[in-house]
Amino acid sequence: MIRITQIKISINEPVTKVKALVLKKLKIQESDLLDFRIYKESIDARHRGEIDFIYTVDVALENEGKILAKKLKNVSLAPVLDYKNPDKGSKTLAHRPLVIGFGPAGMFAALLLAQNGYRPIVLERGQAVDERVKSIDAFWTEGKLNPKSNVQFGEGGAGTFSDGKLTSRVRDLRGRKVLEEFVAAGAPEDILYKAHPHVGTDLLRDIVKKIRQQIIALGGEVHFEAQVEQFVLENQALQAVKLVDGRQFEASQAILAIGHSARDTFSELYEKGVDITAKPFAVGVRIEHPQKMINKAQYKEFAEHPRLGAAEYRLTYKASSGRGVYTFCMCPGGLVVPAASEEGRLVTNGMSEHARDQKNANSGLLVQVFPEDFPTNHPLAGVEFQRELESKAFELGGSNYKAPAQLVGDFLDGQASTAMGSVEPSYALGVTPTDLTQLFPEFITDSMKEAIVGLDKKMHGFALSDAVMTGVESRSSSPVRINRDEENFQSVSTKGIYPSGEGAGFAGGIVSAAIDGLKCAEALISEFAQPEMED
């Protein structure tokens, strides 16, 4: 195919004009096109009073060589983006491979294994998505937490109840396969070319089910409410796993995609001698602004233009202490949601549906924390740091899963909030106005205060006095890294365990986690032949 870049149309021109501009550029007729597809769409809002859409387009023609010979500006041969399955190894695989966890990393690892004939067995501690929705609804409406299946645990992982962002700063061709599999499972086709694609939690629920059904149709198994309690090792090599319900699965190879909140599994791995180290992460609050204000700040006079939708932002600031402060998982037209996974601890997260049509925008406002901030050098010290914050947040909110909240103006002025203002908090179980400085260590509070003022200079309105800060956002990424060999992707200490995705400390989002799951599956496939059918 031929790739044409830098095709520009104004915001008020229809997308159909793109094809006309391609035909004009190449000096061909529409009948000459064998295939036409938009590869990328981005928004150029750099010039005041003007917004343009910039397109990259791939076309197939019978006379591609003739066109390329003209050496037209911004016209070149399109790179090949087709995913190539790895060559299969020759070692005997005694048992079917396990995939532990069914978030993005586990899901795509299992899918690739199934597509190549390995008939994986997936063990997911939470519920299938339909049952999981019921458990989460009971928590969000009645405060009845199910520690086994919640926003963190269950089919699709934590990403199922998020904005469903499919952006990734990882430059890897596997990302294209991830997006194509999502489209094949029912995602909108525009995720293949949008600069900031997202699906939304409402669509993700059906998508993850269809991927699960594909894995099963290809010979795989997916077991829900199947929490691994114990890893059976011999000479530091995997032999089997035991579940909390007493079942045991023999296995010499297991992709470990447990997510960033599987704290009990972290402890089990540590006790079994699996090499784990503490790593930096970030904690903070969810900050909510009116979505119309964000639209105005980002798009100016084009704020409510129908082609733009709800505006996004991504902001960073370096505090005088040297700590990074940044916005995370920004949810346009979204909600702040209860995301606890342990009783007596409170966690918040952000979520949007595909339409992004709620009245508030929210994002995590996070401050970096480092292993040296923890009271001990234990590999799981970051877990305890999170737990302490979550317990304090639970108490500060009233010990009933209401969330502690404070107005930005009060936070900057150093006074407790006693009531909310013009921005209505969206947290489903209600908020308790309070003083969030009681929640955080001083270094986090000071960094956040400084950053809010600094970020307001980058996006006017960020320091809106009535904006709401809701605590605590503590699960932005894993507090540990389960160290692995980057050649065979297995644990550096334990044969047969492939640490993967966010929980293992190797990803940060749906697409990057899915890519990492593919990498681990590829490593397994490259070393081992598929198991015999009679196993």
Residue 409 lies in a domain: yes
The residue to which tokens 């079917």 are assigned: 96
Q: Say if residue 411 is in the same domain as residue 336.
A: yes
Of 286, 295, 282, which Cα lies nearest the Cα of 332?
295
Contact 138, 46 (CB under 8 A): no
Q: Say if residue 104 is in the same domain as residue 124.
A: yes
Q: Say if residue 401 is in the same domain as residue 323.
A: yes
Of 446, 481, 274, which Cα lies nearest the Cα of 371?
481
Quick one: pLDDT at residue 8? 96
**DSSP-assigned letter for residue 117:** T
pLDDT tens-digit readout, 184-225: 999 999 999 998 888 988 999 999 999 999 999 999 999 999
Alpha helices by DSSP H, 334-438: 381-397, 408-413
Q: Say if residue 426 is in the same domain as residue 468.
A: yes
Q: How far is CA 392 from CA 97, 155, 355, 388, 430, in A?
A: 41, 29, 34, 6, 17
pLDDT tens-digit readout, 437-482: 999 999 999 999 999 999 999 999 999 999 999 999 999 999 999 9
Calculate mean pLDDT across residues 313-334: 96
Q: What is the mean pLDDT of the chain?
A: 95
Q: Provide CB contacts within 8 A for 305, sequence distance 6+.
A: 11, 51, 299
Contact 249, 229 (CB under 8 A): no
Q: How far is CA 66 from CA 24, 28, 59, 76, in A?
A: 16, 12, 14, 12
- Of 452, 473, 494, which closes a domain? 473
Longest dimension (CA), the chain: 72
State the CATH number of the domain containing residue 57: 3.30.70.2700
Number of domains comprising the chain? 3
Q: Please provide residue 190's backbone torsions phi and psi, each rounded to the nearest 5 degrees.
A: -70, -10
Residue 518 lies in a domain: yes
Contact 145, 139 (CB under 8 A): yes
Pairing of strands 98-100, 121-123: parallel
Q: Say if residue 343 is in the same domain as residue 228.
A: no
Instruction: Please list the residues that pair with 498 across neighbouring strands.
Output: 255
Q: Say if residue 238 is in the same domain as residue 378.
A: no
Residue 535 lies in a domain: no
**DSSP-assigned letter for residue 402:** P
Residue 366 has pLDDT above 90, yes or no: yes
Residue 534 has pLDDT above 60, yes or no: no
pLDDT tens-digit readout, 486-527: 999 999 999 999 999 999 999 989 999 999 999 999 999 999
Sign of the four-CA dihedral 281, 284, 286, 292? negative
CA distance linking residue 67 with residue 83, whole number of Å: 27
Banded pLDDT at 345 (limits 50, 70, 90):
very high
Residue 415 lies in a domain: yes
Residue span of the structural domain in which 305 resides: 280-473
Q: Say if residue 256 is in the same domain as residue 349.
A: no
State the CATH number of the domain containing residue 133: 3.50.50.60
Residue 24 lies in a domain: yes
CA distance linking residue 307 with residue 130, whole number of Å: 33
CA distance linking residue 464 with residue 333, whole number of Å: 17
Pairing of strands 254-256, 248-250: unpaired
CA distance linking residue 245 with residue 225, whole number of Å: 9
Quick one: 120 exposed, middle or buried, by C-beta within 10 A (0-12, 13-18, 19+)? buried
The residue to which tokens 């550029």 are assigned: 25
Contact 154, 129 (CB under 8 A): yes
- Of 427, 452, 473, which closes a domain? 473
Chain Cα centroid distance, residue 126: 18
CA distance linking residue 162 with residue 199, whole number of Å: 9
Of 160, 442, 405, which Cα lies nearest the Cα of 319?
442
Q: Say if residue 336 is in the same domain as residue 285.
A: yes
Quick one: pLDDT at residue 532? 76
Q: Say if residue 446 is in the same domain as residue 489.
A: no
Q: Say if residue 386 is in the same domain as residue 429.
A: yes
Quick one: pLDDT at residue 507? 93
Residue 93 lies in a domain: no
Contact 363, 331 (CB under 8 A): yes
Calculate mean pLDDT across residues 382-411: 98
Q: How far is CA 237 from CA 79, 100, 344, 422, 490, in A?
A: 41, 16, 36, 58, 11
Number of helices and strands in the chain (H, E): 12, 23
pLDDT tens-digit readout, 110-168: 999 999 999 999 999 999 999 999 999 999 999 999 999 999 999 999 988 888 888 77
- Of 447, 473, 499, which closes a domain? 473
Residue 535 has pLDDT above 60, yes or no: no
pLDDT tens-digit readout, 171-191: 788 999 999 999 999 999 999
Q: Which two tokens stand for residue 247?
A: 């079942």
| Secondary structure (3-state) at 308 | coil
Q: Say if residue 269 is in the same domain as residue 166.
A: yes
Q: Which two tokens stand for residue 535?
A: 């196993």
Q: How far is CA 143 from CA 150, 339, 398, in A?
A: 12, 11, 12
pLDDT tens-digit readout, 297-310: 999 999 989 889 99
The residue to which tokens 């970020």 are assigned: 455
CA distance linking residue 25 with residue 5, whole number of Å: 11
CB atoms within 10 A of CB 29: 8
Residue 84 lies in a domain: no
The residue to which tokens 């399955």 are assigned: 85
Residue 82 lies in a domain: no
pLDDT tens-digit readout, 229-283: 999 999 999 999 999 999 999 999 999 999 999 999 999 999 999 999 999 999 9
Virtual torsion, Cα 364, 502, 384, 99, nearest 10 deg: 140
Q: Say if residue 510 is in the same domain as residue 447.
A: no
| Range 18-26, long-range pairs (CB < 8 A, 24+ positions) | 18/55, 18/57, 22/57, 22/59, 25/72, 25/74, 25/75, 26/2, 26/59, 26/61, 26/67, 26/72, 26/75
Calculate mean pLDDT across residues 397-423: 98
Q: Which two tokens stand for residue 533?
A: 């059918």
